[in-house]
Amino acid sequence: MERYSSRKVDELGRIILHGDLRKKLGLDEGTRITPTVIGSIVILQCTETGECFVSELGTITLPAEVRQQMAWEAMSEVAVYHTDSMLILKTA
């Protein structure tokens, strides 16, 4: 697992993923993503029926339930890690 960067959650629950990370992981506009909370991390995996999606600007809006479970409010800093098949978010 490789740490990529830290991002801030905005007031609408969005995080922005850098273009080079999206390209590396094949996260094109409209890619559907399913977030799963496991303890102190959120795993984002591409799925056909994902409730989130990558916007044309590279943002992902995290569901309110996920943000509440993680106690992430506006301007919370989130560390972004990745493997070849998933993104992992953790409080920075």
Q: For the residues of 2-60, what is the DSSP string, one character each?
A: EEEEEEE--TTSEEE--HHHHHHHT--TT-EEEEEEETTEEEEEE-TT-SEE--TTSEE
4-54 residue pLDDT tens: 789 999 999 999 999 988 998 899 999 999 999 999 999 999 999 999 999
Question: What is the number of domains present in the chain?
Answer: 1
Which pLDDT belongs to residue 67?
Answer: 96
**Residue ranges making up the domain that contains 74:** 2-91
**Torsion angles phi and psi, residue 54, rounded to 5:** -85, 125
pLDDT range class, residue 3, cuts 50, 70, 90: confident
pTM over 0.95, yes/no: no
